[in-house]
Amino acid sequence: MESKLVDSFGRQISYLRLAVTDRCNLRCQYCMPAQGADIVDRKELLNYKEMYRLTRVLSELGVNKVRLTGGEPFVRRDFIKFLEMLDFNDLLDEINITTNGALICQHIKSIEKLKVKSINLSLDTLRRDRFAQITRRDVFNEVYKTFELLEDSSLNLKLNFVVQSGINTDELVDFVSLTQHKNISVRFIEEMPFNGVGQKRINEVWDYEKILKNIERGFDSVEKLVDKKSSTSRNFRVPNFKGTFGIIPAFTRTICGDCNRIRITATGMFKNCLFDDGVFNVRDFLRKGVSDDDLKELFLSIITKKPKNGFEAEKNRASKVNESMSSIGG
Ligand code: SAM
Ligand code: SF4
C-alpha cells in the first residue's frame, strides 16, 4: 500500500505529536487541578513497542517529524531507551521533545547524540516563588539549571511560556529581553481551557493581539519574520537580538489553515485536532492483532475526517473542552 496522509482540504500530514505518558511530576495551574488529573491504569497506556510501531507506520505514510510530549515524557521509565529506538527510524527527519525540564539534566548528553533537534522547555516565569505558585512544585532551580545546560548544548532551544492573565503578563518583555544575547526562541502561548476544570473566569483576555501590543511597547521596534509553512507560531525579532520570539494563537486559532499535525494520546486515542474529543482508539485496534496494512488503511480513512479548523472540531465535540492538557499531549 503506497499512499500519503492527505486530508479533505488537501493538507499533507507530516507531523505527529505523541504523548508518551499521562503522568506528570508538576501540577501546573493551567493544565490540571491541585490534586492532579485522573491518570489511567498503566496497562491502558501505549507501550514503547506500540508507540514505535504506530510511528513507523505513520512515517511510511509521510510523517517525518515527531514531537514527544505528555504528561511529562521524562517521568516514564526508560524514555531515553525509547528515544534510542525511535532514532532507528530512518524515515523520521526530526524528533523533538516538550518537557518541563525538572528531570532531564543528566540526560542532555545522551539526547545530543540522537536525531533530536529541538527541545521545548516550559518556563512561565523567572521568579522562583511565582514558579512554585504556577506549577505547585518548588523546582525552579532544577528547571533553570536545565535551561542553562540546554543553552550550552547543540540542541535548538525554545521556551514555552503560557500567558496567564493576572499571573505572569508582567514578564513578557523580560522574556523577550532574554533573546538579546541568547540564541533561543521564546514562544508565548495563549492559555486554553485544557486544565481539567474548564474555562476560568478572568478579568482580561490575553490573546495574540494583546500579547504583541504589550511586547511592542517594551522595545523601540519589533520586526516580523517570515513564518515557515505550517508553523504554529507567528514569529518576530527585536532588531539585532540574537534570538527570536513567537506567539502561538492556540485559543484564537488563526493558524489552522495549513495544519499538518495529528496527535496520539498516551492511551492511544487518535486526534485529528487538539480541540476534537478523540477520533479513534488505535491502541484497542492494534491489540486485536491487526497488520500494518490494516493500520495504514485506518489512518488514511480517519485523516479524511480532519476538521477544517479548531472551531469546527470543538463544535463537533460531545462535551465541553475541560480535559487536562497532560492527557492530550500539548
Ligand atoms: N510536561 C511537558 C511540559 O510541560 O512541557 C509536556 C506536556 S505539556 C501538556 C505541553 C505544553 O502544553 C507545555 O508547554 C505547556 O505549557 C502547554 N500547556 C499545558 N496546558 C496548557 C493550557 N491550558 N493552555 C496552553 N498551553 C498549555
Ligand atoms: Fe505537567 Fe506539563 Fe501539564 Fe505542567 S504543563 S502539569 S509540566 S504536563
Cell of 25: 511530576
Using only C-alpha atoms, the chain has a radius of gyration, in whole angstroms, of: 19
- Taking the centre of ligand 1 as the mean of its atom positions, its distance from the CA of residue 330, in whole angstroms, is 5
Nearest to 309 by CA among 258, 237, 267, 269: 258
What residue's CA is closest to ligand 1, atom 1? Answer: 72
User: Residue 238: what pLDDT?
Assistant: 98
Distance CA 67, CA 156 (A): 14
Residue 302's identity, in one-letter code, is I
Q: E strands along 51-147, which residues? A: 65-69, 94-99, 116-122
Cell of 254: 488563526
Can you give 93-110 as a three-state secondary structure string?
CEEEEEECCCCCHHHHHH
Taking the CA atoms of 258, 160, 26 and 87 in sequence, report the sign of the dihedral they define: positive
Cβ of 70 closer than 6 Å to ligand 2, yes or no, is: yes
User: Residue 322: what pLDDT?
Assistant: 84
Lateral strand order in the sheet of 156-163: 223-224, 234-237, 244-248, 185-190, 156-163, 116-122, 94-99, 65-69, 15-19, 261-264, 269-271, 280-281
Q: Which ligand is nearest to the CA of 34?
A: 2
Distance CA 281, CA 25 (A): 26
- Taking the centre of ligand 2 as the mean of its atom positions, its distance from the CA of residue 193, in whole angstroms, is 14
Cβ of 264 closer than 6 Å to ligand 2, yes or no, is: no
Cβ of 24 closer than 6 Å to ligand 2, yes or no, is: yes
User: Residue 1: what pLDDT?
Assistant: 56
- Res. 155 pLDDT band, cuts 50 70 90: very high
Cell of 241: 537580538
- Taking the centre of ligand 2 as the mean of its atom positions, its distance from the CA of residue 224, in whole angstroms, is 30
Distance CA 48, CA 80 (A): 11
- As to burial, measured by CB atoms within 10 angstroms (0-12 exposed, 13-18 middle, 19+ buried), residue 303 is buried
User: Residue 328: what pLDDT?
Assistant: 87
What residue's CA is closest to ligand 1, atom 5? Answer: 99
User: Residue 220: what pLDDT?
Assistant: 97
Q: What is the pLDDT of residues 93-124, one digit of tens each?
A: 999 999 999 999 999 999 999 999 999 999 99
Residue 156 carries which DSSP code? E
What angle (nearest 5°) sits at the alpha carbon of residue 41, between those of residues 63 and 137?
A: 85
Atom of ligand 2 nearest to the CA of 72: 8
Q: Out of 25, 72, 125, 167, give the residue to mutate to test ligand 2, the one with the largest number of ligand atoms within 8 Å of its CB.
A: 72
- Taking the centre of ligand 2 as the mean of its atom positions, its distance from the CA of residue 71, in whole angstroms, is 6
Nearest to 279 by CA among 232, 234, 328, 231: 328
Atom of ligand 1 nearest to the CA of 329: 9
Nearest to 139 by CA among 27, 36, 34: 27
Distance CA 175, CA 320 (A): 33
Average pLDDT value for the chain: 95
- Taking the centre of ligand 1 as the mean of its atom positions, its distance from the CA of residue 1, in whole angstroms, is 36
Q: What is the pLDDT of residues 223-237, one digit of tens each?
A: 999 999 999 999 999
Residues 6+ apart with CB under 8 A from 287: none
Average pLDDT rounded to a whole number, residues 142-167: 97
What angle (nearest 5°) sits at the alpha carbon of residue 110, between those of residues 109 and 115?
A: 110
pLDDT higher for 20 or 203? 20
- Res. 2 pLDDT band, cuts 50 70 90: low
Q: How many CA atoms lie within 13 A of 302 on its CB side?
A: 21
Q: Which ligand is nearest to the CA of 328?
A: 1
Residues 6+ apart with CB under 8 A from 155: 108, 111, 112, 116, 117, 118, 119
Q: Out of 21, 22, 28, 255, give the residue to mutate to test ligand 1, the one with the largest number of ligand atoms within 8 Å of its CB.
A: 28
Nearest to 61 by CA among 274, 299, 276, 314: 299
User: Residue 137: what pLDDT?
Assistant: 97
Residue 71 carries which DSSP code? S
Nearest to 175 by CA among 155, 189, 165: 189
- Taking the centre of ligand 2 as the mean of its atom positions, its distance from the CA of residue 32, in whole angstroms, is 8
Q: Which ligand is nearest to the CA of 146?
A: 1
- Taking the centre of ligand 2 as the mean of its atom positions, its distance from the CA of residue 72, in whole angstroms, is 6
pTM of this prediction?
0.96
- Taking the centre of ligand 1 as the mean of its atom positions, its distance from the CA of residue 31, in whole angstroms, is 7
